[in-house]
Amino acid sequence: MDKKTIAYSLARSGLGAIPFGGQAAIEIFEKLVAPPMTKRRLFWEKKIGERLHKLESEGKIDLDALSQNDIFINILFQASLIAMRNNQKERLEALENAVINAALPNSPDEIFQELFLNLVDSVSILHVSMLKKISGVILNVKDIDKLLKETFPEMEQNQTLYQHVWQDLIAKNLISIRTDNHLGYTITRTPLGNRFLDFISENTK
């Protein structure tokens, strides 16, 4: 029994233990949760199945071999669990791309795959959006706040949020800031940040 099924069963048994109106609570829970959960699962299975079939038809993967690959199966399970509790299009696309990239030859080591999936699960869509906009090396930055406002003009509406996300990207070693006393700051996406984006982006090769 997978974690999703266990969690659902526990919720059912917990609601059933309520002395007054327990059965009604279960019925409400099933009405609210079961249909959208089923819809999400079917949508996810269809998307992943279609893309894996396409890769096999192109000779890029062997589904029989993949079904025996424990590392891939682990990643597929983890990504599926995350997908079931999300409805954000960008996050679902990132999870879908991660599964497909995990299926391809020369995919990252298992520890990196797990790390990147955890990032998809834990960071916001804004994290990924900001990380994507920091491409290449930005030299001689005198005023970081000014750079952020120029790069993310929408930041004016919520500076506190953007500054928090920016600091979090630095703390997670996805963005690097180096200081030169004479020239100012050098800002760049780290190798880890680049590998993370590669893993959650569609492989066009």
Which residue among 122, 150, 185 closes a domain?
122
With a cut of 90, say whether residue 156 has pLDDT above it.
no
Domain with 13, as residue range(s), is: 3-122
* Per-residue CA distances from 108 to 101, 103, 174 (Å): 9, 10, 17
Is residue 205 assigned to a domain? no
Residues 11 and 58 grouped into a single domain: yes
Lowest mean pLDDT among 5-14, 35-44, 112-121, 152-161: 5-14
Q: For the segment 186-195, what is each residue's pLDDT rounded down to a tens digit? A: 889 999 999 9
Is-contact 71 113, C-beta < 8 A?
yes
Going by pLDDT thresholds of 50, 70 and 90, the confidence category of residue 138 is confident
Residues facing 189 on adjacent strands: 175
Whether residues 162 and 74 share a domain: the answer is: no
Tell me if 200 is assigned to some domain. no
3-class secondary structure, 6: helix
111 lies in some domain: yes
Residue 95 lies in a domain: yes
H or E element, residue 93:
helix 89-103
Determine the pLDDT at residue 205: 64
Q: CB under 8 Å to 35, separation ≥6 — which residues?
A: none
